[in-house]
Structure 1
Amino acid sequence: MLLLRMLLMLTFLSIGSVYSQGFMRVDPSGFVGDSIEGKRLLKNISKAKKLFDKGESSFAECLDLLLECNAFNGDNAELNYNIGQSYLRYGKKELAKEYFEQVKILKPNINAELYLFLGQACQYTNDFSKAILNYKTYVEILQHEGVKRNEDKLSAVFKYIDECKNGQILFEQSADFDVEKLPSPINSEANDVLAIKEGSKLFFNSDRIIVGDKKKDRKEPSLRGFSVVLINGEWANFSVLNDEKKSRDLPRMVAKVDDNQYLFYDKTTGGGDLIFMQKDEKFWTKEMDVFFVNETKSNESSASFTSDGNTVVFVSDRDEKQGDIFYCQKNDAGEWSKPIKFGDQINSKFDERDVFLSGDGKVMYFSSKGRNSIGGYDIFKSEKDENGNWMVAKNMGIPINSAFDDCHFFPYEGNSFLFDSNRGGNGKFDIYGKKLIVEIVTEDERLEPIKPIEKIEAVIPVEKIDILPEVIPLPIPVVEKVAVVLTTYKIQIAASKIEMKDAELIKLYRGKENIVSSYDGEWYRYTIGNYESMEDAIYFKDRLGVEKAFIVSFENETRKKIITNYSLSRK
């Protein structure tokens, strides 16, 4: 080990202080050899570099090109290094480990950052011991170059080492439950965050693109509110939260205050402010700013009230330009106190965010990069003691927390909860919840123990009889063809027992879609469109201008059921 360290020190002296954190050049002679196929693939590496430099939007294509090259020659250190970096940056961070390990075998002196990146990749796979070893190698290289010149880098890597040590401890204390990603339509390929459950309804925020979005919105997606309802164990009634102007720029919902009032975060005012909004049967309307919390030059991004409305906790960067948690209290005269910053039992020297306060004001959840985090943001819990003092916040441990970012804890209905995490593999945030574990009882466990048969002393002779096996003919299997069910959706605009005239239909609907008439012996029904998804049908129904239009589902062109109360413009 000592010999390896000396070798590393001597080698890195020749590299200098310029570390290759970008795309690393692949030497053609070391990759191609005499292969014609290698020369063709060499062009892919050049294309991949340009895509790498473009940023996150091009990383998927960049990785496809690099992996094709790696299938041809997996023993090129620089190529493996670039793939590892791409995975770390693109989001599938746990997949970077094997490529950096290959680099360490092929060319351990490629640069100093190899040991930093390999440490990070190991940390994301919960391989904390190996992560610490690689981080320490990186530390030795930096210290050899000069502690003062590498002070910031050393401070960062020492924090990574502390996170891994925390991870080793918390991994041994893992809870007896698991967590799982919520299904579609809640989660998508985009960022899905900040879930708030209210009975059977779930509010959440997403930057996904949906049918009807304008082209300008597709270029710069931003978080906006959606809702779904739990019906018969499935999430349905997917809809967009809109204001009275049907704007797609409704601020981000962050908390529930009471049955008719919610908190939203508006990033366009001040440095980012919190506002109260109310809902009616169709739309959301702004009530007022949370004036006793907001400051003009600071960012207030999260807050939570007690059930009586007399205490609020919130996150602000007004001190030291990082997120900290504050609180205000209302007196008997209805006046709010000035914001008070929590002490170090809650706040740390790192960033805090996404706070939640229980209705009785005795339990608080929040996310932090400090304390005994195991990487990124972790979720912490603090409770008041019998004297009303807040206790030191505790890490909620694995599997709620991970080496990724874990934020916005929302408890509900006993021990159930929701939270956000970007551990899912594509670098985007998803909404997770507690996984229900069903214990499987084996057949042996269900049966009562069999008592031993008592020994019978008397032996009764039995006449020997030849028993011929009965031959039972096997039935001929019947193979039934299962028809493919194709579900489509149409918009019904009218129905009448007397056939309607063209003039009546034109007066009712003036759109471009053809009106299709059908007759079942009693009713004439008039529909437009034939959509493959309910979302498309919802979108076009909302824009018809036909007040009593509704959606009908068909299976293989056979009318099945009427779908009502669906709207992308309703609550």
Structure 2
Amino acid sequence: MQIIRSMRKRHLIIVVLICLVNPFLGAQERVKIKKKEFRREAVAGFREAWRSIGEGNKCYDQGLGTFDLARDHYLLAYRYNSDHPGLNYKIGACYLFTDSKYEAIDYLEHAYRLSPEVADDIHLLLGRAFQLVLEFDSAIHHYQAHLNGLKRDEKEANTSLIERRIAECVSGASLTQDPVRVIIKNLGGEVNSRFDDYNPVFAYNDTALFITSRRPVKKAKRNPLDNKFNEDIYRMSFDGNRFDSAVRLNKPFNTRHNDALVDISPDGQMALLYKGHIDGGELQFSAFKAEKNKWTRSKRFSRRVKSKEGEGSACLSPDGKQIFFVSKHRKYSRGGKDILVCSLNEKGKWSSPRNLGAEINSVFDEEGVFLSEDGKTMYFASRGHNSIGGFDIFKSELDDQGNWSLAENLGYPINTPDDELFYITDKKGQYGYYAANREGGFGARDVYRVIYLGAEKEMQLLMRDSLVAGHGGRKTGYLMLPRLLELDTSMLVQGRVLDTIEGKPVVAKLAFINPETGQVESTVISNASGAFKARLSHPGVFGVEISATGYLYYLDILDLIGMSTDERVEKDFYLQPFDVGTKVVLENIYFQIGKAVLRPESFEALDQVAKFMENNPGMKLEISGHTDNTGSLRTNQRLSRERAKAVVDYLIGKGIPSSVLVYEGYADSQPVAPNNTADGREKNRRVEFKVLSK
């Protein structure tokens, strides 16, 4: 009853996501770990491991809110016995329903290999886990296997759900074959935290950004559904290039309850607020009183924008005469939560809600509505249409007759099989911003910027330090570029190229690439003191390619957004030297789960390795595969060696002589981080090269 009562005081993000999680919660609680089966003969540590099982079960049985605690207890027991199917299943289930859901696949697949009948819903959870890592064929196989294994009455209740998941996988397979050309960048630690951060709202000519965050504050309470803190509103200033650190707002924006800012009027004088403690979620407004220099106490926006089911996100039209909002209103909804609109009449009264129709609203949930500056493009999230899983971002265009076009998926990699929500654009419509839980983030849901590139041409994939592992301040991005051409330029960037170890200057070639045109805007050589000067045509995002004898090939992203053309930019670059014995982790190398088959998104990174070797023809490399300590040593030894061989085979296929390449698999014998955390295990699963001679 505690959880049921708590839903009366709703979080905006929980209201959005809880219906997605529920269909996957089935038979987990029926999986028992028996002491006799868990005990291993002649292996020390049983008593402590069994105690961890007991503590984990207590947290597990309490539900989603304590799955992360249960997982940590289970992982302690896992050190004692990593081959118990029930334990692997429970760890996988805990990962699947917490922020580190991409970790689930290894444990669930291991549980299934150990015991195909470990749980009634093992195929369902495996389907979701494979879907999350873009293994759509495997996901469909497991979804279909789950459906085939249901009894007649269970099949009637679950067929539509499974068919929907399969349809998502079909959409995913299609959209991932034709990725959109974008850079997706984490906004960094000034905006994001290790807690959930989402729902971005720009205001005051894009000089201020508001977000909703679930960070701890004094006397903060946790929600029992997910064991996270209440929602609060934060603000940060933005100068067009940098964000200041986030600051929590006072009343009327924040209270001791769940609060979110969903929109600010174009004139900046009215704030739309979500108050989660009122009737399952209510939209309120606060007006700014200039003479008192303060905001008024918030109150209900309108009785027209109100239902017993509660409302969520909303936005105002540019002229302030329409409000678009998300509601599960029984009278107006087509199914699930829909986007409705109310219009302001000549008397200043709001009309009754109107459903935007099947072009926008599916029979599943919609969320996070936003209108462009001209009011002619609507962005929103939906679990329906051709979503590839969870909430995807869609857009619709308004024609001259006032009709909205059929929802269009923004595509991969903007959308993934996980949830993408609360998409907005800046005032110029140049960049998008949205919330997602992506690998390489700060630990939970973060706010990202989407930078759109020009028309597709012959592509290269440009990744930050693509030969060197690391998150670069935990800001990550994807950048796809055409082949390089020459072009005159006009904006000054200057700095030095330095050695990362000794800090000494490096003579290097630097190429600055405009991703919108695919052209090299400037190519320069740093001098004996490492100094360089380059001229670029305009402020924006540029790719930087640097090469120097005796150093690793370097690729980076230079972000000059918001800078003026007469501003002098100071930027130093650091190159990593290589010598005999140097080891380098190959970043962005992906394999099919549990196999030694390279995924296509790995090819561009490996092409850079091939180019690096072509520029250093006397060099000999060892390619090595490494794993974490999950699973058996024999399996990990075989898999790590086969994956290293797959990389070598690819490089040979690119013209690198086999005589300068060797491969080896080291399993988990050379960890670079502890294996007792998800982040550590992720770092240990890697492919490296080692310089044997040069």
Give the TM-score category using the shorter length.
0.5 to 0.7
Deviations 1:413-463 (A, max 9, x none): 332011112345898432121257597977698779xxxxxxxxxxxxxxx
TM-score (structure 2 length as normaliser):
0.56
Once the 2 structures are TM-superposed, how far is the Cα of residue 303 of structure 1 from its aligned partner? 1.8
Answer whether contact 1:305 1:359 (CA < 8 A) is retained: no
- CA distance 1:174–1:288, shift in 2 (3 Å): same
Q: Determine whether 1:324 maps to 2:344.
A: no
Q: Determine whether 1:189 maps to 2:197.
A: no
Answer whether contact 2:378 2:395 (CA < 8 A) is retained: yes
Aligned pairs for 1:172-571 (under 5 A) are 172-198=177-203, 199-210=206-217, 213-214=218-219, 221-230=229-238, 233-236=241-244, 238-243=246-251, 247-249=255-257, 251-258=259-266, 259-279=268-288, 283-286=294-297, 288-291=299-302, 293-319=304-330, 322-412=336-426, 413-423=428-438, 428-434=444-450, 437=479
2:389 is matched by which residue type in structure 1?
A: G
**Paired position in structure 2 for 1:26:** 33
Aligned counterparts of 2:480 and 2:244: Cα–Cα separation in 1: 25
Aligned pairs for 1:139-158 (under 5 A) are 139-142=147-150, 145-146=151-152, 148-158=153-163
Aligned counterparts of 1:290 and 1:334: Cα–Cα separation in 2: 13
**Paired position in structure 1 for 2:100:** 92
Once the 2 structures are TM-superposed, how far is the Cα of residue 236 of structure 1 from its aligned partner? 1.9
2:394 is matched by which residue type in structure 1?
A: F
Answer whether contact 1:275 1:286 (CA < 8 A) is retained: no
Aligned counterparts of 1:127 and 1:427: Cα–Cα separation in 2: 23
Aligned counterparts of 2:26 and 2:63: Cα–Cα separation in 1: 19
Q: Give the secondary structure class of the aligned counterpart of 2:339.
A: strand
Answer whether contact 1:225 1:253 (CA < 8 A) is retained: yes
Answer whether contact 2:89 2:118 (CA < 8 A) is retained: no
1:165 is matched by which residue type in structure 2?
A: V
Answer whether contact 2:302 2:350 (CA < 8 A) is retained: no
- CA distance 1:337–1:430, shift in 2 (3 Å): same
Instruction: Please identify, of 78-87 and 273-282, the stretch whose mean Cα deviation from structure 2 is larger.
Output: 273-282
Q: Determine whether 1:42 maps to 2:50.
A: yes
- CA distance 1:98–1:337, shift in 2 (3 Å): same
Answer whether contact 1:271 1:296 (CA < 8 A) is retained: no
Answer whether contact 2:369 2:379 (CA < 8 A) is retained: yes
Deviations 1:25-46 (A, max 9, x none): 2233433232241523233222
Q: Give the secondary structure class of the aligned counterpart of 2:130.
A: helix
Q: Give the secondary structure class of the aligned counterpart of 1:235.
A: coil
Once the 2 structures are TM-superposed, how far is the Cα of residue 406 of structure 1 from its aligned partner? 1.2
Aligned counterparts of 1:299 and 1:243: Cα–Cα separation in 2: 22
Aligned counterparts of 1:245 and 1:426: Cα–Cα separation in 2: 25
- CA distance 1:260–1:237, shift in 2 (3 Å): farther
1:387 is matched by which residue type in structure 2?
A: Q
Question: Of 172, 176, 187, which residue of structure 2 is paired with 1:171?
Answer: 176
Answer whether contact 2:214 2:228 (CA < 8 A) is retained: no
Once the 2 structures are TM-superposed, how far is the Cα of residue 270 of structure 1 from its aligned partner? 4.2
- CA distance 1:341–1:104, shift in 2 (3 Å): same
Q: Give the secondary structure class of the aligned counterpart of 2:233.
A: strand
Q: Determine whether 1:130 maps to 2:164.
A: no
Aligned counterparts of 2:199 and 2:132: Cα–Cα separation in 1: 23
2:158 is matched by which residue type in structure 1?
A: K
Aligned counterparts of 1:67 and 1:388: Cα–Cα separation in 2: 56
Q: Give the secondary structure class of the aligned counterpart of 1:286.
A: coil
Deviations 1:42-88 (A, max 9, x none): 33222221122234454334323322333333222222112111111
Deviations 1:491-529 (A, max 9, x none): xxxxxxxxxxxxxxxxxxxxxxxxxxxxxxxxxxxxxxx
**Paired position in structure 1 for 2:16:** none
Aligned counterparts of 1:312 and 1:205: Cα–Cα separation in 2: 20
1:47 is matched by which residue type in structure 2?
A: E
1:164 is matched by which residue type in structure 2?
A: C
Q: Give the secondary structure class of the aligned counterpart of 1:401.
A: coil
Once the 2 structures are TM-superposed, how far is the Cα of residue 216 of structure 1 from its aligned partner? 5.7
Answer whether contact 1:83 1:96 (CA < 8 A) is retained: yes
1:300 is matched by which residue type in structure 2?
A: E
Once the 2 structures are TM-superposed, how far is the Cα of residue 121 of structure 1 from its aligned partner? 0.5
TM-score (structure 1 length as normaliser):
0.68
- CA distance 1:65–1:240, shift in 2 (3 Å): closer
1:70 is matched by which residue type in structure 2?
A: Y
**Paired position in structure 2 for 1:10:** none
Deviations 1:11-35 (A, max 9, x none): xxxxxxx974226222334332322
Aligned counterparts of 1:202 and 1:326: Cα–Cα separation in 2: 26
Q: Give the secondary structure class of the aligned counterpart of 1:187.
A: coil
Deviations 1:329-353 (A, max 9, x none): 2344544332211111111111111
Answer whether contact 2:233 2:254 (CA < 8 A) is retained: no
Tell me how large the CA RMSD over aligned residues is.
3.1
Aligned counterparts of 1:220 and 1:19: Cα–Cα separation in 2: 23
2:269 is matched by which residue type in structure 1?
A: N
**Paired position in structure 2 for 1:522:** none
Aligned counterparts of 1:232 and 1:216: Cα–Cα separation in 2: 35
* Percent identical: 31
